[in-house]
Structure 1
Amino acid sequence: MEKNSNPAALTPQGVDQEAFDRVWRRVMPDQAQSPIAIGRAEVDEIAPAETAPQDQCEAAPVPAEPPVQPAASPTPPPPSRSKAEEEPPFCLGSQSQGEEQTLTSLMDLAKEGVFIAQALVRRGGSCSRSLSCLAADHRRALRQLSAAYFLITGQRYRPPTPSVVINASLPLALRDQFVWEQRWERANQQAAETTSDACLKELYQELAQDGVLHAATIRSLLEQMG
């Protein structure tokens, strides 16, 4: 189809030519594809469509508000501590005076245990090895109690030599020692419950546990004899 080179020929009657040309250029900006050819001079005169400046089309960035810092909570005061918590537990010092009677009573009992165990060892036969371990434990307990007494009082205590009589029958002698070990365990456990000295409490509990183990050993020996 042949292009019409005169757009004025398409202009309706009574329409302003200049307004028509302006509208025509807006709807057909590509004159090369237009069915109506406009001269090069006319094309050059076509002004690019006015565009709004970019800074007017785009909204101005809103400055970011600084983050709201949470209000710092006041530092809570340190929990109040009682006087007992502030002071470390005392151990084998002058504050433990008053434990002398308990210590001397246990030392007397420990020395009695040593003499009984030694007598059982001499009569023990095949049980001698196990019974010698009991004797060694009671000697150690006597040394520990003696050292604790000295640290508290500054003096040495020498338990009197006990008068030991054991049954001629080894099973009966072991039965008596089984009862004795239970008495030893209870005496130390009661001492641990009443003392305020942290070191003495630990020592008493250890010796009480020895009594439990010794009783179990004697029971095992009697079971082997049966």
Structure 2
Amino acid sequence: MDQEWLPNCDREVFARVWKRVMPDRREDCPFEVVEAAQQSLPAVVVPDPPVAEEEGAVCLGSASAVHGPQLQQYIDQELAAHRCCQTLARRVPGSGGRMLSTMAAEQRRQAKRLSTAYFLISGVRYWPADRSGSPVNGPVTAALREQFQAMQRYAACYRAAAAGTADPCLEALFHQSAEEAEAHAWVIRNVLEQM
């Protein structure tokens, strides 16, 4: 086994542990313990690579804190959509109700993803208390139409947010959120077609 990859490790301890784990030399094992040379090798210190956080290259780092209020808004809107779809799922019979229930669960998961990104950036957990939300009054079809339009707005907002960030992880999250919102709009359309 190449000794260079263990610069700060006690080679004797490693050899003892390895011998206990792999007492017999096996042909299919890619490792081999080689006795260290008697002379000591010069120490080589490899510095940690510089963190380019000030350049915005770090994923979900403090440089992305400017997106905090935006993430809070998106978490709130995903949770509001989740509550609305849960209510609608109870009012739509059959497979349409099941599709809306599945969509509500996906919206909650999306809110969790956004909340996790917010936490990684800020160190603060943002998850608003479960509010009952506004009841869905009036015809179900009108409420579904409102949700269809809301999903299209959300997708456009997420795409704009993706274009406006230098954080590659946030950009990917916003693109994923936009795609999911677009897919949800088509689910709602499908539900309406079945009614």
Q: TM-score, normalised by structure 2?
A: 0.67
Which of 62, 65, 77 in structure 2 is aligned with 1:109?
Answer: 77
Consecutive unaligned residues of structure 2, counting only runs of 5 or more, are: 1-51
Which residue of the partner structure matches residue 194 of structure 2?
A: 224
The answer on whether the counterparts of 1:103 and 1:149 sit within 8 Å (CA) in structure 2 is yes
Higher relative contact order (CA 8 A, sep 6+): 2
Which residue of the partner structure matches residue 4 of structure 2?
A: none
Asked if 1:138 is matched to 2:93, the reply is: no
Which residue of the partner structure matches residue 43 of structure 2?
A: none
Deviation string, structure 1 residues 113-172 (Cα, Å, up to 9, x no partner): 111011111111111110011101110111001100111111111325363232332212
Asked if 1:121 is matched to 2:89, the reply is: yes
Deviation string, structure 1 residues 192-224 (Cα, Å, up to 9, x no partner): 111111000000000101111111111122122
Q: Secondary structure at the match of 1:97?
A: helix
Structure with max Cα Rg? 1
Which of 172, 182, 186 in structure 2 is aligned with 1:212?
Answer: 182
Asked if 1:153 is matched to 2:85, the reply is: no
The answer on whether the counterparts of 2:56 and 2:63 sit within 8 Å (CA) in structure 1 is no
Aligned pairs (5 A) from 1:1-226? 89-126=57-94, 127-159=96-128, 161=131, 163-225=133-195
The structure where helix makes up a greater share of residues is: 2
Deviation string, structure 1 residues 36-83 (Cα, Å, up to 9, x no partner): xxxxxxxxxxxxxxxxxxxxxxxxxxxxxxxxxxxxxxxxxxxxxxxx
The size of the alignment, in residue pairs, is 140
Letter in 2 for 1:114: H
* Distance 1:115-1:88 versus aligned 2 partners, 3 A rule: closer
